Copies of this chain bind each other. A is one copy, B any other.
Amino acid sequence: MNKSELNEEEIQLWYKWKGSFHSIFGRVIKEMSDHTGLSEGDYGVLDRLDLLGDGSLRQQELAESMDWDKSRLSHHLTRMEKRRLVMRKPLDNDRGVQVIITPTGKSALNDARPIVSMAIRKHFLDQLTDQDVESITKLAERTKKGSAASYNAPAP
């Protein structure tokens, strides 16, 4: 009975929201991958291996920290292994797998960090007013019902 049709403004708001996200996000990722050859996923993996695991993590922990399912991560690691960015090593006690960043991976990550930072600042942070920051923060708070992974960096 509740028809719930959206009016023009509501539809436009949805499109604006989508549009801003894709535009900003796309610019950041493109800047990184143009300069480093890493994709967003590559960077996420390497970053977590480095910061959360000091170079290596169990595959499962890595998956959780990225909020990726095991299949997605498995496929992605297979591709990254081919490019020598990471290695996999089976654990024999536990039946898990250790994912280890290679020197190549570490160096790619180090190259990417400043570029990513600059890109996020330029395309995202510099575009935001204080009100936007507050809005984003609160919306995230309201939104994150049951989505575990919020990537809290390891304690200092």
A150 touches B14 (CB 8 A): no
Judged by a CB distance under 8 angstroms, whether A111 is at the interface is: no
A117 touches B16 (CB 8 A): no
Contact A3/B132 with A124-B14, A140-B16, A140-B19 known, Cβ cut-off 8 Å: no
CA distance A114 to B23 in the complex (A): 27
A interface majority secondary structure: helix
Which A residues form the contact surface with B (CB < 8 A)? 2-6, 8, 10-11, 13-21, 23-25, 114, 117-118, 120-121, 124-125, 127-129, 131-140, 142-144, 147, 150-151, 153
Partner of A4, one of B24, B118, B134, B151: B118
